[in-house]
Amino acid sequence: MNLYDFTVSDYLGNPVSLSKYKGKVLIVFNSATGCGYTPQYAGLEKLYETYKDAGLEILDFPCNQFLGQAPGSNQEIKAFCEMKYGVQFDVFAKVDVNGRHAAPLFQFLKEEAAKLSPKKKGFLFKLQKDPNAIKWNFTKFIIDRDGKVVKRVEPSTPPEEMTEDLKNLL
C-alpha cells in the first residue's frame, strides 16, 4: 500500500482519491481551529503560495481529539481557515489520528515516519500503547513526489522551518 491508494473525504464529505496528488510534494497535517498552534495556518499558507507553482500541495485534516480544539462542522472549519488565514489549500473532513478509530491515512503516515528513525528501546518505550502516536495538533508529514514520507515534523516546529526540506524536494 502507498499514499496514493487512500481515498479520503473532503470537507463536504465527497470522496477524494489521493492519487490526484501524484507527482506533487505534499505536507499532510492534522489541525484544530482553537489550538495554540492555529496561527501556523498563516505560515502554511505562505509556503503554499510560494511553492504551489513548483508542485507543493498542502492537505489539512481537522482533528478534534486533542481537548476538543476543532469544534464545529467541516464547513465551519473550512470557512474559518479561509476567512481568518486566507487558506487556499485543501481542507478535508475531520478525522481521528490516534486510537481505534484513527483514519487509515494517518495510521499509514505514522508507520512510514517511524521507519525513518531508529527503533527506540527500553522498558518504558515498550509500555506505550502507540509509541508513534501523534502528540498534538499540527503534526506535519512531508511527502516526496513518489508518495514517500520523508519527514515527520512535530507541532512546535513552525512551518517556515520546513522551507529547506521543501526546496530540496521541489
Q: What are the catalytic residues?
A: 35
Beta carbons of 36 and 68 less than 8 angstroms apart: no
**Nearest-angstrom CA–CA distance, 130 and 117:** 15
Strands 90-91 and 56-62: parallel
Take residue 85 and report the three cell numbers written for it: 488565514
| Inter-residue contact 77 to 33 (CB < 8 Å) | yes
C-alpha 1/C-alpha 6 separation (Å) is 9
Task: Tell me the CB-side half-sphere exposure of residue 136, using CA atoms within 13 A.
Answer: 11
Residue 90 has a CB neighbour count (10 Å cut-off) of 18
3-state helix, strand, coil in the chain (%, to 5): 35, 20, 45
